[in-house]
């Protein structure tokens, strides 16, 4: 990948590429992205989904914790915070007040607090046997699926230009379009 696209990805996803310039004793990312420019869009989209998933899950975790704190205070008589969760707009309305009363008349339903998803950190991104390989630490099953999909998409996308391609099994296995095959 060109240095410009390398920098673009590292600047856009600094949490994922925090070890990009670490020594080779710590990560293989020190060698950069060992893929062609044609897979830039696949990587960019996968990285966006991964980082968004991690950030949103952390926001949801914080919201769940805050809601549980507010509900606990409401059980002790301070309903102002809970009223905020049911109010739309600037002020409290009758519906919101009834929702708070209804919530407090039942056994409290605390939200389950999810585990935080560990930040994904790329350890190596390369081409192997004509397909993208993305090695990383952190994440969860959802992120594993996103990475598997990106790796699968690379087997039908030209590594050189990003157009639809096929795996070339003559000699070095690569995924190329017809134009890039002729221009080798």
- Distance, in Å, from the CA atom of 177 to the CA atom of 161, rounded to the nearest integer, reads 8
- Domains of the chain: total: 1
Check residue 93 and give its pLDDT: 65
Check residue 92 and give its pLDDT: 54
Tokens linked to 132: 């993208």
Rounded to 5 degrees, φ, ψ at 164 are: -60, 140
Average confidence (pLDDT) over 18-23: 94
Query: Helix, strand or coil for residue 72?
Result: helix
Check residue 91 and give its pLDDT: 54
Check residue 90 and give its pLDDT: 56
- Distance, in Å, from the CA atom of 9 to the CA atom of 3, rounded to the nearest integer, reads 10
105: number of Cβ within 10 Å = 7
* Confidence label for 184 from pLDDT (cuts 50, 70 and 90): low
pLDDT one-digit tens code per residue, 26-42? 999 999 999 999 999 99
* Confidence label for 25 from pLDDT (cuts 50, 70 and 90): very high
Q: What value does the mean pLDDT of the chain take?
A: 89
Average confidence (pLDDT) over 135-152: 97
Check residue 87 and give its pLDDT: 67
- Distance, in Å, from the CA atom of 64 to the CA atom of 10, rounded to the nearest integer, reads 31
Domain boundaries, position 154: 1-108+117-184
Q: What is the pTM of this model?
A: 0.84
Average confidence (pLDDT) over 147-167: 95
Check residue 139 and give its pLDDT: 95
Check residue 4 and give its pLDDT: 97
pLDDT one-digit tens code per residue, 65-110? 998 898 888 888 887 777 776 666 555 566 667 777 777 777 778 8
């Amino acid at each position: 990948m060109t240095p410009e696209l390398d920098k673009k990805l590292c600047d856009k996803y600094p949490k994922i590429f925090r070890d990009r310039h670490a020594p080779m004793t710590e990560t293989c990312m020190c060698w950069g992205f060992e893929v062609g420019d044609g897979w830039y869009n696949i990587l960019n989209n996968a990285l966006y989904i991964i980082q968004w998933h991690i950030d949103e899950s952390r926001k949801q975790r914080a919201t769940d914790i805050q809601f549980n704190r507010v509900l606990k205070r409401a059980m002790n008589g301070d309903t102002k915070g809970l009223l905020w969760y049911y109010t739309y707009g600037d002020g409290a309305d009758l519906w919101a007040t009834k929702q708070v009363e209804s919530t407090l008349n039942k056994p409290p339903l605390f939200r389950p607090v999810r585990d935080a998803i560990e930040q994904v950190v790329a350890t190596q991104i390369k081409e192997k046997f004509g397909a993208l390989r993305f090695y990383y630490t952190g994440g969860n099953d959802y992120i594993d699926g996103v990475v598997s999909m990106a790796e699968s998409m690379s087997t039908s996308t030209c590594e050189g230009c990003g157009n639809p391609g096929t795996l070339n099994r003559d000699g070095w296995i690569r995924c190329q379009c017809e134009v890039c095959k002729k221009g080798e």
